[in-house]
Amino acid sequence: MAIKLVLNGTPRSLDADPAMPLLWALRDLAGLTGTRFGCGVAQCGACTVHLDGQPVRACLTPLGAAQGASVTTIEGLSADGNHPLQRAWVELGVPQCGYCQAGQLMSAAALLARNPHPNDEAIDAAMSGNLCRCGTYPRIRAAIKKAAGETP
Amino acid sequence: MTALSRRGVLKATLGGFALGLYPGLGAAAPKRAKGLQPNVFVHLSPDGAVTLTVHRSEMGQGIRSTLAYLFAGELGADLARVSIEQAVGDAAYGDQNTDGSSSIRGKLDWLRRFAATARVMLLTAAAERWEVPVSACEAKAHFVVNTLTGAKLSFGELAEAAGKLPVPADDAVTLLPDAAHPWLGRSAPSIDAQSFVTGAAQFGADVTLPGMLIAVIARPPVVGGRIKRLDARAALKVPGVKKVLALPTPRAPWGFQPWGGVAVLATNTWAAIRGRAALAIDWEHGPNASYDSAAFRDGLHRALQSPGVTLREVGDVDRALAGAARIIEAEYDVPHLPHSPMEPPVALARFQRGACEVWASTQNPQAARKTVAETLGLPESKVTVHVTLLGGGFGRKSKADFCAEAAWLARAVKAPVRVQWTREDDVRHDYYNTVSAQKLTAGIDATGQLVAWRHRTAFPPISTLYGGPPVPGPGDLQQGVLDLALAVPNVRAEGCEAPGAPVRIGWLRAVYNLFHAFAVGSFIDELAHARKEDPRATWLSVLGPPRHASLRELGIPALKNYNASLDEHPVDVARLRQVLERVTKASGWEAGARAGPRRAPQLPQLRGGRGVGGASGRAHRGRRGVAGHRRRAHRQPRPRALPDGGLGGVRPQPRLLRRPHHERRGDAAVELP
């Protein structure tokens, strides 16, 4: 069955079982490998993408849920990798192994879209579902504030 | 040559390095036709392009950046003219097993020399051209400068002439003075940061080959188990599933061989996962069928009740304990720990024309090459292992089992195969950090002085993976038992035999230090309660005055000492004391003592559910690390239990079970919460 969606701004049709998790449709069918597989049960946040602007865990979101919707992955966060969050991430040296960071950025971007100036509590609440085993959390928080135009 | 889906070279915006984000496809250390290539790490082409090869695996520690800056700085290169390649697994690069914090430690000058050799050859070529002494030439920003005349020759102009010179002997190569190295000891941006934030970075599962199948494997639920009956009909009906294949049953000792079970191969990952769920397998569980982790733990504790092999001895512990006014005793156990890197193990293999090529997020591409060669019965020269970025490793990805699984399947199904471990696989079938139990016994004299310290530790060590006996030896107890400085006149440490080794034991970041530090730190608290003093004071008195502890003081004939001499890597009590001082200061320990609830005596208190942790690595003496390498020698935990635990707060560790201690005499038994 063909699922029609707008993927990173481009209308696409993905021919797959609507029950296939969006994660695998993105990675294996659409070739967008920036969305990472971490746990498969929505416990780590590495696969976070935007579905109509809302952050969702792609590993438990069926492809069918994206029918007619807009999906944004890390590849579509900005045209040239210079979203304010991406710039802040690089400038503050947030990534270590880098594996979780696409998901972290997508959660952070959704946060800033609805709350342009989040305080620590808002950041913690929005980011608590995204694990990082390198422990980059303090820099993530600083980078979100920097991107929000505040001194971290 | 290849149809890899996302091949290509991306320009990194930072540092100016050009990154071959794709792991190189050629043979190891390809010999370039032209220019200067004095060794496998450095190549300068006549057009001035410098290619630096990094040979260690990147998993968040910054080693790719560290090596890039280290080499580029030592060479005198302009970063904008440098590109970085990731080495394949090949002994020509020396040790590539990226673990044990060993990439730079003890190897800094050895590494710098590769780039310095190229620099010296460029200087020599320029000196011959100008007919001046080499000492009158300097390499800077991709030029050699004649310091007598100010004349300059570009690296590119000199490449051919330098390449024709004999490669100088090591003792003819002088390293830059540290201060002249532009990056040594300085911070610098990661060369990979931009690729991480755009999603372009390639981890193990991001490499794709045409016609590739994705395999998910149902592994034996019990170590040593085998398939008794397999019904794959339902699995084969799952759309996308192409094949179901039983892997060979592994034979002890386990090593890195493929871990057996039934592989479901499909055109996409989800189909493979669904296919695996649809398998009907009856397992013959084998000799570990009755393994019970609680019974095993009890067996470890039983082993602690009689003397083990003495591996450290100072004075006469038995006599001191017999004469002590009070005995404090406690037992601890810590279960297996899985590595759980964010990226589960994953490898892609292609077998064609009698050769195998593997792409994997491996910490040890040489071990992967060897294991794949053994698995397929090939000479190593027919195996190429490319290293992708690693989404964490922690020691798990030093083991090559997942690479061998992919290689075996690729040959069997005559198609490229990516073996994808799921998170459940990772937790259930890991090379776990070992399970352990410990018993600490202290004797206190009538004046409250600590006069005896006995430490028994029982666990199956890593050597059981290769068939060794389940009893820890001195190489294992070096981690937190033999190298612990104790200002106690009578000390003994014993390694006790575990009741077997029923799972694969591996090394996990810090390895045996994890549970030894836990037990020692907890036992110090017991002593503090017994002596009615601040645990910090107990720590400081047990460690004793600032000093470097000698082998004689430690009561050991030798110390493996992470393959360094005690002079290079001392047991430095001053450093430990400083960590304690700084951690307690940063955590408001004194304020807590003043504000704590009334107790007699009043001990420092942290609020409920919160603790203070301090981490201390023993310093390696000599020059500090290099640019790009994150320094974590001292990290100040904040006494807050926040979601950002990794760098800051310390969360309760429910997995670290503390058993009730057995107070044989005295009255100081205090149950910790």
CATH number at residue A54: 3.10.20.30
Residue B409 in this model has a pLDDT that exceeds 70: yes
Residues of A in contact with B189 (CB under 8 A): 90, 93
Helix (H) / strand (E) element for B196: namely helix B193-198
Is B666 within the bounds of a domain?
no
Name the pLDDT band for B610 (thresholds 50, 70, 90): low
- Beta-strand pair B137-140/B143-146: antiparallel
Q: Which two tokens stand for residue B313?
A: 């001895």
Domain boundary among the residues A37, A57, A76 is at A76
Q: Strand pairing partners for B657?
A: B333
CATH number at residue A113: 1.10.150.120
Residues 6+ apart with CB under 8 A from B201: A98, B21, B192, B195, B389
Look at A35 and B420 and tell me if their CB atoms are within 8 Å.
no
B542/B503 same-domain check: yes
Burial of B354 (0-12, 13-18, 19+ CB in 10 A): exposed
User: Residue B470's domain spans which residues?
Assistant: 295-337+432-658
Percent of chain A scoring above 90 in pLDDT:
97
Look at A81 and B644 and tell me if their CB atoms are within 8 Å.
no
Q: A147 and chain B: CB distance < 8 Å anywhere?
A: no
Asked if B60 contacts A98 with a C-beta cutoff of 8 angstroms, the reply is: yes
Considering only CA atoms, give the Rg of chain A: 15
Residue B3 in this model has a pLDDT that exceeds 80: no
Going by C-alpha positions, the residue among B442, B443, B434, B522 that lies closest to residue B479 is B434
Look at B197 and A81 and tell me if their CB atoms are within 8 Å.
yes
pLDDT tens sequence across B179-202: 999 999 999 999 999 999 999 999
Number of domains in chain A: 2
Distance CA(A105)–CA(A143), nearest Å, equals: 10
Asked if B60 contacts B629 with a C-beta cutoff of 8 angstroms, the reply is: no
Q: Which two tokens stand for residue B288?
A: 């570990």
A103/A69 same-domain check: no
CATH number at residue B254: 3.30.365.10
Asked if A90 contacts B197 with a C-beta cutoff of 8 angstroms, the reply is: yes
Alpha helices of B284-339 — where are they, by DSSP H? 293-303, 317-322
Backbone angles phi, psi at A44, to 5 degrees: -125, -25
Is B663 within the bounds of a domain?
no
Q: Which two tokens stand for residue B587?
A: 């955590």
Residues of B in contact with A95 (CB under 8 A): 60, 190, 192-193, 196-197
- What is the least distance, in Å, from the CA of A13 to any CA of chain B? 17
Q: Is the ipTM of this complex over 0.85?
A: yes
Asked if B496 contacts B304 with a C-beta cutoff of 8 angstroms, the reply is: yes
- Beta-strand pair B50-54/B42-44: antiparallel
Scanning every residue of chain B, which has its alpha carbon at the shortest distance from the alpha carbon of A105?
B197
A34/A54 same-domain check: yes
pLDDT tens sequence across B493-534: 999 999 999 999 999 999 999 999 999 999 999 999 999 999
Domain boundary among the residues B166, B198, B230 is at B198
Is B672 within the bounds of a domain?
no
Is B2 within the bounds of a domain?
no
Distance CA(B526)–CA(B661), nearest Å, equals: 9
B560/B616 same-domain check: yes
Amino acid identity for residue B414 in this structure: K
Q: What is the per-residue pLDDT for B587?
A: 84
Q: What is the per-residue pLDDT for B612?
A: 57
The 3 state secondary structure assigned to B329-355 is EEEEEECCECCCCCCCCEEEEEEECCE
Is A152 within the bounds of a domain?
no
Name the pLDDT band for B633 (thresholds 50, 70, 90): very low
Is A142 within the bounds of a domain?
yes
Q: Which two tokens stand for residue B495?
A: 């390694």
B385/B487 same-domain check: no
Asked if B573 contacts B545 with a C-beta cutoff of 8 angstroms, the reply is: yes
Distance CA(B106)–CA(B93), nearest Å, equals: 16
CA atoms within 13 A on the CB side of B615: 16
Q: A141 and chain B: CB distance < 8 Å anywhere?
A: yes
A112/A63 same-domain check: no
Number of domains in chain B: 3
Residue B234 in this model has a pLDDT that exceeds 50: yes
Distance CA(B89)–CA(B544), nearest Å, equals: 46
Domain boundary among the residues B397, B428, B459 is at B428
Domain boundary among the residues B428, B451, B482 is at B428
pLDDT tens sequence across B640-672: 322 222 322 232 222 223 333 333 332 222 222
A62/A92 same-domain check: no
- Sign of the dihedral through C-alpha B568, B569, B573, B575: positive
B446/B460 same-domain check: yes
A94/A140 same-domain check: yes
Distance CA(B256)–CA(B266), nearest Å, equals: 25
- What is the least distance, in Å, from the CA of A145 to any CA of chain B? 15
Domain boundary among the residues A76, A103, A129 is at A76
Look at A138 and B194 and tell me if their CB atoms are within 8 Å.
no
Scanning every residue of chain B, which has its alpha carbon at the shortest distance from the alpha carbon of A135?
B646
Is A8 within the bounds of a domain?
yes
Is A89 within the bounds of a domain?
yes
pLDDT tens sequence across B252-280: 999 999 999 999 999 999 999 999 999 99
Residues of B in contact with A20 (CB under 8 A): 268, 270
B36/B104 same-domain check: yes
A52/A96 same-domain check: no
Q: Which two tokens stand for residue B586?
A: 């940063």
A70/A126 same-domain check: no
Residues of A in contact with B203 (CB under 8 A): 36, 99
pTM confidence score:
0.89
DSSP state of B614: -
User: Residue A36's domain spans which residues?
Assistant: 2-76
B161/B208 same-domain check: no
A63/A94 same-domain check: no
Is B141 within the bounds of a domain?
yes
| Sheet containing B436-444, strands listed edge to edge, beginning at the edge strand earlier in sequence | B309-314, B491-496, B450-458, B436-444, B326-334, B657-658
Look at A137 and B5 and tell me if their CB atoms are within 8 Å.
no
Q: Strand pairing partners for B346?
A: B420
| Sheet containing A54-57, strands listed edge to edge, beginning at the edge strand earlier in sequence | A10-15, A2-7, A70-72, A48-51, A54-57
A23/A89 same-domain check: no
Q: Which two tokens stand for residue B86?
A: 């990731």
Residue B638 in this model has a pLDDT that exceeds 60: no
As a whole number, the mean pLDDT across chain B is 87
Residues of A in contact with B629 (CB under 8 A): none
Amino acid identity for residue B392 in this structure: G
Residues 6+ apart with CB under 8 A from B298: none
